[in-house]
Structure 1
Amino acid sequence: MKRDELGDLMAFLAVCEERSFTRAAARLGTSQSSLSHTVKRLEERLDLRLLTRTTRNVSPTLAGEQLAETLRPAFDDIEARLSSLNEMRAKPAGLVRLTTSRHAATEILWPRLNPVLAEHPDVELEINVEQRMVDIVEERFDAGVRLGESVEKDMIAVRIGPDLRMLTVGAPEYFAAHGRPETPHDLTEHNCINLRLPTLGGLYAWEYERDGKPLNVRVEGQLTSNDVDVIVQACLDGRGLCCLPDYHLNSHLQDGRLEAVLKDFSPPFPGYHMYYPSRRQASPAFQLILRALRYRD
C-alpha cells in the first residue's frame, strides 16, 4: 500500500464517523474541499461509491460501512501501539479527551487537573461537557465521567468522588404553610417542582428506597423545568418541594434556607466514576489524569 492510500483511508473513516465533511475536516486539520477530493479519489481508485452525500448529511453506503468496520479496529490497534511507545518517553505527553457532566467538570475534574496541566506542559486536555450519555468509543473519547450507577458493565470504572444522595427539600415557610411529608406517598398532597430530563425529555420520577425496596413517585405541581438552578431558586422562594442530588442543595441546607425531609427513604448511591474501555491501552498522559482523579476517602 502506498503512503497516500493510507491517508485516504484515514480521511474516509473520519468522514464516516463524523457524518460530515465539515466536522471531519476540522478533526483532521484540513479543508473541506481537500477532504472531499481525497474521498473522491479513494472512491475512484476502488471503483466503489463509499458515501451517500445529501445537502444535510453524509452517510456510508453498504460498501462504505463494510470498509469502515474493517478500518476501525485496524486504526485503533495502530493508535494503541503508538500510545504504548509513549511509555518510553521521559515525561507524559499527548491529548486526553474526556466527556462529563457540568457539575463533575467544575467541581471535580478542573480543581484536580489544573495543577496537573501546570506541572506537565506537554499534556493536553479536552473536557467536553454533555448532559446526554455519550458513546465514548464511537465518539473517540479516552474516558467518560458519570454517576457510578450509569456506567455500562463492560467498562472499567474508577471512583473519583464520594457517594451522593437524592434529597427532598423545601423552604421553612413552605413547610410552615403545608406541613411535612412523612412518607413518599404523602407527596401527592404537596406542590412538587418537576425536573424534565435533558436526555429523553421525560419527567424525573422521584426515587426512594425503604428496606432495600425501591419506590419511585410521579409527582405533580405548578412548575416544571429542565434547569436545576431554576428549580432550586423556586424551592428557595417557597413555591414547592424539589428532589435533587445533595451537591445542588448542601449550601442552602447549611444556612437553613432549605430543610430536608424523607431522609430515611433516601440512601446514598455511587458518586462520580471515570470509565473507559478495557481494551484500550492507557498512555502515560491518561494514567497521569487517572491518578489525579482517583478518589481517596
Structure 2
Amino acid sequence: MHRDELGDLAAFLAVADERSFTRAAAKLGTSQSALSHTLRRLEERLGIRLLTRTTRSVSPTDAGEQLIAGLRPALEEIDARIASLSALREKPAGSIRINTSWHAAETILWPAIERLLPDYPDIRFELTQDQALTDIVAGRFDAGVRLGERVEKDMIAVRIGPDLRMAVVGAPSYLEAHGRPTTPHDLTRHACINLRLETQGGLYAWEFERDGRELNVRVDGPLVFNAVPLIMKAALAGFGLAFVIEAQAEDEIAEGRLVRVLEDWCPPFAGYHLYYPSRRQLSPAFTVLVNALRYRS
C-alpha cells in the first residue's frame, strides 16, 4: 500500500461517519477543500464512486458501505496496536474518547479524570455529552457510559456508580395550587415537563414500578426540553412536575425548593456502567481509567 493511501482511507471513514465534509474536516483538523480533494483522489485511484454527495448530505454508496465494513475493523486494530506501544513508556499515554450523558460526566467521569490528570499528564481525555444511545463503534469512541439496563449484550460493561432512583418533583407553589398526585395515573391531570429523546425523537414515557407491577405513563404539559438542567429550572419555577434522577434534585429537595411525590413508585435500578467492545485490546491508558472508575461498594 502506498504511504498516502492509509491516510486517504481514514479520511473516507471520517466523512462516512460524520455524513458531512465540514464536520469531518473539523474532526481531522484539515480544510474542507483539502478533504474533498483527498476523497476525489481516492475514488479516482479505485475507479469507483464511494460517496453520494448532495447539497445537504453525504452518504456512502453500496461500494462505500462494503469498504467501510472491511476497513473499520482494520483501522481499529491499527489504533489498538499503536495504543499498546504506550506500555513501553514510563507512564501510560494516549487519547481516550468517551460518549456519556451530562449527569454521568459531571458526577463520575470528571471527578475521576481530575484525580488522574496530575499523575498521568500524557493521557488525553475527550468527553462527548449527549442523551442519545450513540453507536460508540461507528462514532469511533473508546467507550460509552449508560445505565446498566441499556448496555448491549456484546459489550463489556464495568459498573462505575451505585444504584440510582428516579424522582417526581415539583415546587411547593405548584403542589399547593394543583395538589399532589397519589398514583402515576394522576399525572395525566397535571402539567408535566417532558424530555425529548434524541435517539427516536419521541417523548420519554415516565417509568414506574411497585410490588412488581410496571407502569409507563405518557405525560403532557406546556414544556418540552432535551436537557435535564432546563427541566430542573422549569420545575423550580413552578411550571410543572419533573421526572429526574434522584441525585439531580437531592439538594433542592433537602432545601425544600422541590418536593418529592410518588416516592413508593420509584424503586432503585442499575446505575451507570462504562462499556466498550469485547474485542477491544485495552491500552495501558484505558486500563488506568477503568481501574479509577470501577465502582466499589
TM-score by length of structure 2 reads 0.89
Structure 1 segment 27-38 matched on structure 2, within 5 A:
27-38=27-38
Contact 2:197–2:204, Cα closer than 8 Å, also in 1: no
Identity score, percent = 61
1:119 alignment partner, SS class? coil
Counterparts of 1:26 and 1:166, CA distance in 2 = 38
1:281 alignment partner, SS class? coil
Q: How far off is 1:138 after superposition?
A: 0.1
Q: CA, structure 1 residues 96+182, in 2 after alignment: closer, same or farther (shift >3 Å)?
A: same
Contact 1:192–1:242, Cα closer than 8 Å, also in 2: no
Counterparts of 2:57 and 2:292, CA distance in 1 = 40
Contact 2:205–2:216, Cα closer than 8 Å, also in 1: yes
Q: CA, structure 1 residues 71+172, in 2 after alignment: closer, same or farther (shift >3 Å)?
A: closer
After TM superposition, what 4+ stretches of structure 1 lie above 4 angstroms from structure 2? 173-179
Q: Per-residue displacement from partner, 1:190-216 (whole Å, max 9, x unpaired)?
A: x23231324134333222112112012
Q: CA, structure 1 residues 250+47, in 2 after alignment: closer, same or farther (shift >3 Å)?
A: same
Contact 2:105–2:129, Cα closer than 8 Å, also in 1: yes
Q: How far off is 1:217 after superposition?
A: 2.2
Counterparts of 2:160 and 2:13, CA distance in 1 = 34
Contact 1:195–1:228, Cα closer than 8 Å, also in 2: no
Match in the other structure for 1:49: 49
Match in the other structure for 1:195: 194
**Letter of the 1:270 counterpart:** A
Q: How far off is 1:267 after superposition?
A: 0.4
Match in the other structure for 1:292: 292
Pairing 1:113–2:113 present: yes
Q: CA, structure 1 residues 212+43, in 2 after alignment: closer, same or farther (shift >3 Å)?
A: same
Counterparts of 1:27 and 1:236, CA distance in 2 = 38
**Letter of the 2:257 counterpart:** R
**RMSD of the TM alignment (CA)?**
2.3
Pairing 1:133–2:133 present: yes
Say how many residue pairs are matched.
295
Q: Which runs of 5+ in 2 are unaligned?
A: none
Pairing 1:228–2:228 present: yes
Contact 1:154–1:277, Cα closer than 8 Å, also in 2: yes
Deviates more, 1:71-80 or 1:199-208: 199-208
Match in the other structure for 2:162: 162
Match in the other structure for 1:10: 10
Deviates more, 1:125-134 or 1:180-189: 180-189
